[in-house]
Every structure is written in C-alpha cells, then in structure tokens.
A = this chain, B = another copy of it.
C-alpha cells in the first residue's frame, strides 16, 4: 500500500508541475470549470450528502455524534452556490505564481530573479466539514500544487462525490491525479511517513488533530497546536473599551483558537475598582473565572490548575500583574505565541507591547478574534500557523508558495571572476 500511496503522491506532483506550466488564463479557466461542475453535478453531490447525513443522524440518535457535528455536515444548493462563488473569487485574484520578488544584476549580462513558485505536493487533513474540499482544491490549483485530501469519515461519501466532480472538471486539460483522495486513517499514517514526496501537511480541525499530526511526521506542518491568547488591560486603559474588547475576545466564539484564554489586569485596576467592572461583566455572561496566584490572593478567585491552558469554552484565567514588563513576561512564559492584545491609551506602552511580545499576532486596542485570514484580507485562509518557520499567523495562498532563483546569463563562468577577469556589480533592480 505504501508503494501505491507513494505513486499517488508522485502523480500529484507531476500533475502539479504540468499545471504550473500552464498560462494564468488556463489555470483561471480550470477554476471556473470546477465551480461550474459543482453546480452542474449538484444532484450527485447532494445525494451523497444525504446518505452521509442519514448515517450521521442515526449516530446522533444513538448519542454517538453531537448535533453540532451533524449540522456541519449538511450541504444544500445554497451552500454549493456559495462554494462556487468562493472559487470564482479565487479565480479573480491576482496570479500568485511567477511573481518577481527581487531582481539583481549580478554582473554585466547576468540577471538574477527570485520568483514565487508552487511548493509541490500538499497533504490536507480535515474533519467533517465537506465545504473545505472545493476551497482547498481551488487554492491548490491557483498556486500550482498537487493535493492529497483526507476528510472526516462521517463525510466520506460527500467528499468523494465532490472530489470526483472536481477531477472530471479539470481532466480534459490536466490529469485528475492532481487531486488524490485518501480515505482511511491507515493511509494517512503511511502518507505522513513519506517526507520525500510530500512537502507540507495542513491539518484543519481540532487542536487534538493538529497536535497528533505534528507529533507523528517529519513533514513540515502548517497549523497551530495551541491558542492561548491573552488580553492585557494596562494601567492606562479606558474602562469601557477594555470591557467591550474583553467580552468580545471571550464570548464571540469561545471555542475558536483566537478567543481570549487569559485576562491580565494591571494592579491599579484592582485598586480603583475597574477590574471588578470587567470581571462582573464576564461573570454575568456565565464565564467561569480561575485565578493565577495574585488573583487568588487579591480577588479570591478559585485557583487555575495551569496558567498555560486553553479552555476553548466559557472560562478564563485571570491574573494581576504589577507592570507592563510583568505582563509581557507572563505572556512569554505561559502563552502559545498565537495572538495577544494590549488595551491602553498610552502610545508608549502600546508600542512597547507590540515591539516586545514575541507572538504571531500582537494587537493594540482590538479583540484577539480579529486574528483570521478573512479579516486580515488574505482572501481564502489556508490556516493559522504558530510555527516560526515558513508562514506565521493567518496564512493565505502565500503559505502554498515557495521561491525559485532564475538566472539569465550569457555564457558566464565562475572561473572568470575568481581569476579577476570580471567582477560582480550586485546592482539591485527590484
């Protein structure tokens, strides 16, 4: 089986190379064909989805599946139309490939360009939501990459139907091997060992999924293992602004990775009562509060079991700090370098926080919930990365790109330079 999987990955790479050699217009045409095929073949897709849903509802009735999970499985004509619109939006974006990032005259008659290029073969693993398939497939196509896809088993029939439709939409022009469907966990396990033919793994789903993949492969993983986001309310914060941001950061979507998990309060807020206004508002919204050592002592909160903890729920850790430096130290020590915010009217403190907090996203007077590809204007989001390598924070299509150096010479030899007959000019043209 490992051999068949390796062949699949190699076929996806070959198809990706062919795809990257097409013109922009041809790739755009393929994207439009994919969107149109989704609508034309909607009956087959919705029929497969009904079969998945029937099983899922039976599992729900037996108490083996949550209704939230069942709800995320549902596709209908309206959703398919939205997915087609999403593909068309990706088709309308600027060409991501072959963008010249720098240009240098190395020496007379030698021009070196650094250009964007596809990464190669990407393995994407996602849980139930079948809408992810057309989105990620169109991003991969736009960026010239081959794709191996593994969906959740609850959505198996829907995912297969969608992949079949997308394959036949591109096939007149390019091999359907560009998109390969992976159906079992065993296959995923074997694919994760193929670090010589797969270049990047993108898990989309729970932190548990991401963490388990990160710990079982040598292939680079684009994802976030933890989202322990802090909001620090500074001595010079405006109370109403702070209260509103803290509530938004915690309540807007508590299960999200960019939701606030820890609230840091400057001690002066405890002294003058502003802290209570904020804490009361959280309590009124049914948020359970757990204290760090100082908050336990000064506010009588129940102690938090661990200051490095992601609740993902209506709960938060609260701690009191004596200074901005202490807040920054706390974030470095207990955070996950995902997204952290300062609420303050002091420009100086804000500048220091934004300079010194070593996280993927650092915000001033804004909710941590803004850390998101769509909100950041990246178009479709590939994922959020807490890795410090390759791509960090919300990642758009550039997460699926690498670079190549192209040198245009005129018969140039290194020997001529080492013998001193010629010399480098290193003139920056772009």
Contacts and interface: CB of A to CB of B under 8 A. Distances in A.
Interface residues of A, number: 69
B244 A411 contact: yes
Contact of A409 (B14, B120, B364, B405): B364
6 contacts: A17-B332, A104-B376, A117-B358, A361-B404, A377-B426, A392-B404
B414 A369 contact: yes
Nearest to A402: B388
B414 A405 contact: no
Given A245-B413, A361-B405, A392-B402, 20 more contacts: A112-B376, A112-B377, A119-B389, A200-B388, A241-B411, A244-B411, A252-B415, A354-B408, A358-B404, A362-B404, A362-B405, A362-B407, A365-B412, A366-B409, A367-B413, A371-B405, A377-B424, A377-B426, A388-B402, A394-B405
Interface string A346-363: 000010001110111111
A410 B244 CA distance: 12
B354 A406 contact: yes
A3 interface: no
How many copies of the polypeptide does the oligomer hold?
2
Contacts of A356: 17, 20-21
A392 B405 CA distance: 9
A285 B414 CA distance: 17
Secondary structure dominating the interface of A: mixed
A333 to B, nearest CB: 10
Interface of A: 14, 17, 20-21, 98, 104, 106, 110, 112, 117-120, 199-200, 218, 220, 238, 241, 244-245, 248, 252, 332, 350, 354-356, 358-367, 369-371, 375-377, 388-390, 392-394, 402-415, 417-418, 424, 426, 428
Contacts of A362: 404-407
Contacts of A407: 361-364, 366, 370
Contacts of A409: 363-366, 370
A248 B422 CA distance: 15
Nearest to A413: B248
Given A405-B360, A414-B248, A375 B424 contact: yes
Contacts of A412: 245, 365-367, 370
A102 to B, nearest CB: 9
B364 A389 contact: no
Contact of A104 (B20, B245, B377): B377
Contacts of A241: 411
Contacts of A428: 377
B403 A392 contact: yes
- Identify the 7 closest CB pairs spanning chains A and B, nearest first: A366-B409, A377-B426, A248-B413, A369-B414, A241-B411, A390-B390, A363-B407
